[in-house]
């Protein structure tokens, strides 16, 4: 089997570290792995699959000879280095939002639209974490009858804000236990024992940038240009794994039984739905794994063709790092 030269841009961040872990877990055929980061991390040594790797400086020359670059950096870094990555002949699988809505850049969830990966011109985008979790949960319904609209409320874990999120939550809990104060740094308000109904800045008529991603990215991934989504994104004091409540309205009526049967068979999903026995998706059960758990499936009482659905998925893994590695696997399958 051919092996590939792989680089991780932003390797020292939470998603970059998870990418390293998942490359090893999935036994991706890596000939060389290069960890790229800013100057402050250069020289740091990391152990990976029994090898000692040294963090290198992210610069244009670092991409020469690479086959695949996994992006785990912010938009400005992705935009800065994308031309050099493409020029070097590598494929850039980018986790930032910099290129997601570019019509020339495929936006991929491998369980949903793997064929779109073939249309790349050197860059492939990884969708938003909440979008990935939600669409993986409901894609099987779209195969039965086109989805016309979604009303979504997300309950997003603090680790979605990076490695500092869980640290801040823990520090606040400890400070409150001791009767002390703690000045938030990662979040705009105290997150311990609280929920914050804003993720991202205002983007469109009172909706935040995070909330608009579900519609804008969903249209592209599902090939539903008229899809309408109304979304509210909320940060909650959960360490890991995002939860989403969805009202999905389809062109034709889909029964609860049909929905359960389809979702149970859908790739990347697990049906977890037994209300009488208190069995349903929860963040603790879905953390540190790659399957989206789906449950609480029931008829929507406000529309004839609607279903209520609750889903949970690990946003660091399936919502980011694992999805990127799965995209890389599509590339080498070709």
Whether 231 sits among the annotated catalytic residues: the reply is: no
Angle CA(313)–CA(34)–CA(290) in degrees, nearest 5? 15
Among candidate residues 34, 120, 129, 311, the one labeled active-site is: 129
Q: Does the active-site annotation cover 242?
A: yes
Beta bridge partners of residue 231, listed in sequence order:
152
Rounded Cα distance between 37 and 167, Å, is: 22
Quick one: which of 7, 161, 9 has its CA closest to 72? 9
**Regarding beta strands 292-299 and 4-9, do their DSSP bridges make them parallel or antiparallel, or are they unpaired?**
unpaired
Residue pair 141/134 in contact (Cβ under 8 Å)? The answer is: no
- The answer to whether residues 248 and 212 touch, using CB atoms and an 8 Å cutoff, is no
Torsions phi, psi for 159 (to 5 deg): -70, -15
Separation between Cα atoms, residue 280 and residue 213, nearest integer Å: 26
The whole-angstrom separation of Cα 280 and Cα 207 is 29
CA dihedral 324, 325, 329, 332 (to 10 degrees): 90
Q: Determine the 3-state secondary structure of 240 from DSSP.
A: coil
Residue among 34, 231, 242, 312 flagged as catalytic: 242
CB atoms within 10 A of CB 203: 14
Catalogue the active-site residues: 129, 242
């Amino acid at each position: 089997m051919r092996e590939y030269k792989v680089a991780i841009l932003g390797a020292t961040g939470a998603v970059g570290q998870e990418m390293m872990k998942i490359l090893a877990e999935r036994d991706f055929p890596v000939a060389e792995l290069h960890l790229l980061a800013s100057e402050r991390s250069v020289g740091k040594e990391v152990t990976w699959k029994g090898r000692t790797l040294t963090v290198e400086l992210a610069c244009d020359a670092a991409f020469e000879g690479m086959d695949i670059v996994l992006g785990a950096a912010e938009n400005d870094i992705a935009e800065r280095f994308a031309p050099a990555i493409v020029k070097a002949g590598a494929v850039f699988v980018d986790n930032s939002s910099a290129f997601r809505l570019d019509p020339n850049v495929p936006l991929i969830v491998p369980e949903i639209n793997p064929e779109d990966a073939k249309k790349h011109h050197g860059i492939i985008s990884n969708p938003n974490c909440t979008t990935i979790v939600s669409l993986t949960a409901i894609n099987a319904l779209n195969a039965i009858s086109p989805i016309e609209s979604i009303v979504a409320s997300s309950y997003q874990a603090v680790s979605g804000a990076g490695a500092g999120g869980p640290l801040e939550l823990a520090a606040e809990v400890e400070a409150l236990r001791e009767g002390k104060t703690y000045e938030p740094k990662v979040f705009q308000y105290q997150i311990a024992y609280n929920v914050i109904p804003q993720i991202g800045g205002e983007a469109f008529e009172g909706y935040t940038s995070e909330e608009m991603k579900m519609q804008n990215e969903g249209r592209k991934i599902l090939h539903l240009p008229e899809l309408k989504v109304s979304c509210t994104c909320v940060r909650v004091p959960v360490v890991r794994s995002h939860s989403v409540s969805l009202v999905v309205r389809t062109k034709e009526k889909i029964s609860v039984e049909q929905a359960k049967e389809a979702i149970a068979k859908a790739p990347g999903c697990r049906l977890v739905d037994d209300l009488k026995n208190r069995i349903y998706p929860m963040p603790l059960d879905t953390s540190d794994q790659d399957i989206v758990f789906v449950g609480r499936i029931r008829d929507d009482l406000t529309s004839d063709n609607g279903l209520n659905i609750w889903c949970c998925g690990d946003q660091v893994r399936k919502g980011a790092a694992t999805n990127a590695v799965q995209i890389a696997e599509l590339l080498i399958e070709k």
